[in-house]
Amino acid sequence: MADRIGSPRHILSVTDVSRPWLDALCARAAAITRHPTRKPLTGRILATLFYEPSTRTRLSFEAAMLRLGGGVISTENAREFSSAAKGENIEDTTRIVEGYADVIAVRYHERGGAARAAAVASVPIINAGDGPGEHPTQALLDWFTLAREFGTVDGLRIALVGDLANGRAARSLAMLLALAHGVSLVFIAPPVTPMGTDVKAYLDARQVHWEETTDLRGALTDVDAVYMTRVQKERFGTDLDAYQAARIYTFTPDMLSALPARARILHPLPRVDEIAPEIDADPRAAYFRQAHNGMLVRMALLEWALDAHE
Ligand code: CP
């Protein structure tokens, strides 16, 4: 795959990604099966170093590595059960773990955590979420899902809904969508947690159309995809008033009639109360397909990071 990500092959930010690289990644993910007969990562080891909770990202990375023939070492609660609890910084932890593993997926509780690891690493570092910063592999699987559901991401009108100030998945997806031609973005966020000015400036510099509203119901009628996100409770600290003020969006069953038949509902998950469970049976609800796509995209990513493509 063509890339401008450098060596080692880190995945730190969607801003490092090019469209040809992204198209090649998606083509590879589409070609991969859940039970590949070829095991290109046999003998290689992935370390998952997670300082924050996860279900999808950690387990799909680990499943991806195992399905490609590799092995996994893991610390799933690194703040409590790794030597971070004794005061070790992420740079030193990385220097140690790179001696054991060929690639490291890091989820850190502060913005820039994966970049700090990459600055000292001689093996690929994959940013599996850095505080309220970015979640690039989520955005890659979101793009793949949109491409699978619609045939192309180009030209789509996409609403991103919820706590957009703190939601790293929405932040990364918005910036990745700058690689699509003719997309139109609608940011639907409570006044207390609007999409960041850094993301808006990034889109402006690339002439990506975006608009902002607080009216979810009104916006639904002309979108292709609505990307719901949860309120990032862990980012509010003791400010419970702001947390309560941010909890204003739920996709309820009565909204389905306003949503175009061609549209899709996505969510990076986990959901709390942003999508009523009754929505799940609607064919436009794509969020479980989206989560399953994550393993395929991460299989393709691990192959690329370890230079094991066919
Ligand atoms: N979407 C996502 O990052 O989910 P997890 O927190 O479960 O990994």
**CATH code: domain of residue 180:** 3.40.50.1370
Q: Is 42 domain-assigned? A: yes
Number of C-beta neighbours around residue 199 at 10 A: 23
pLDDT digits (tens, 9 = 90+) for 128-187: 999 999 999 999 999 999 999 999 999 999 999 999 999 999 999 999 999 999 999 999
Q: Which residues pair with 226 in a beta bridge?
A: 159, 265
Cβ-based neighbours of 148, under 8 Å, separated by 6 or more = 30, 289, 293
Instruction: Give the CA angle between residues 60, 281, 259 to the nearest 5°.
Output: 105
Q: Is 5 domain-assigned? A: no
Give the number of the atom of ligand 1 that is nearest the alpha carbon of residue 59: 8
| pLDDT at position 4 | 58
Note whether 74 and 200 are same-domain residues: no
Residue located nearest, by CA, to atom 1 of ligand 1: 268
Q: Which amino acid is at 7?
A: S
Q: Is 194 domain-assigned? A: yes
- As for how many domains the chain has, the answer is 2
Q: Is 3 domain-assigned? A: no
CA 207 to centroid of ligand 1, rounded, Å: 30
Note whether 101 and 160 are same-domain residues: no
| pLDDT at position 111 | 96
Q: Among 159, 260, 269, which Cα is nearest to 214's? A: 159
| pLDDT at position 3 | 53
| pLDDT at position 219 | 96
Q: Is 48 domain-assigned? A: yes
Note whether 88 and 169 are same-domain residues: no
More confident residue, 226 or 83: 226
Band of the pLDDT at 260, cuts 50, 70, 90?
very high
- C-alpha R_g of the chain: 19
* Percent of the chain residues past pLDDT 90, beyond the cut: 84
Q: Is 4 domain-assigned? A: no
Which residues participate in catalysis according to the annotation?
A: 56-57, 86, 107, 135
**Cα–Cα distances in angstroms (integers) from residue 259 to residues 116, 148, 217, in the given order:** 42, 19, 9
To which residue do tokens 């790293």 refer?
Answer: 168
Tokens of 217: 């119901």
Q: Are 164 and 193 contacting, i.e. CB atoms less than 8 angstroms apart?
A: yes
Residue located nearest, by CA, to atom 5 of ligand 1: 54
Note whether 145 and 259 are same-domain residues: yes
Query: For residues 160 and 169, what is the distance between their CA atoms, to the nearest angstrom?
Result: 10
| pLDDT at position 310 | 61
Note whether 51 and 167 are same-domain residues: no
| Protein residues with CB under 6 Å of any ligand 1 atom | 54-57, 129, 135, 138, 268-270
Give the number of the atom of ligand 1 that is nearest the alpha carbon of residue 107: 8
Note whether 254 and 208 are same-domain residues: yes
Query: For residues 5 and 7, what is the distance between their CA atoms, to the nearest angstrom?
Result: 7
To which residue do tokens 């913005």 refer?
Answer: 111
Note whether 176 and 286 are same-domain residues: yes
- Residue 141: which domain range? 136-291
Query: For residues 57 and 77, what is the distance between their CA atoms, to the nearest angstrom?
Result: 14
Q: Are 266 and 279 contacting, i.e. CB atoms less than 8 angstroms apart?
A: no
More confident residue, 310 or 252: 252
Give the number of the atom of ligand 1 that is nearest the alpha carbon of residue 129: 3
Q: Is 9 domain-assigned? A: no
Note whether 171 and 214 are same-domain residues: yes
| pLDDT at position 207 | 98
Cβ-based neighbours of 253, under 8 Å, separated by 6 or more = 276, 278, 279
3-state secondary structure 109-138: CCCCHHHHHHHHCCCCEEEEEECCCCCHHH
Name the burial class of residue 31, with classes exposed (0-12), middle (13-18) and buried (19+) by CB atoms within 10 angstroms of its CB: exposed
Note whether 245 and 229 are same-domain residues: yes
Mean predicted confidence (pLDDT) in 18-27: 98
Query: For residues 44 and 185, what is the distance between their CA atoms, to the nearest angstrom?
Result: 40
Note whether 143 and 270 are same-domain residues: yes
Mean predicted confidence (pLDDT) in 12-20: 98
Q: Is 285 domain-assigned? A: yes
The model's pTM? 0.95
Q: Are 159 and 221 contacting, i.e. CB atoms less than 8 angstroms apart?
A: no
Band of the pLDDT at 234, cuts 50, 70, 90?
confident
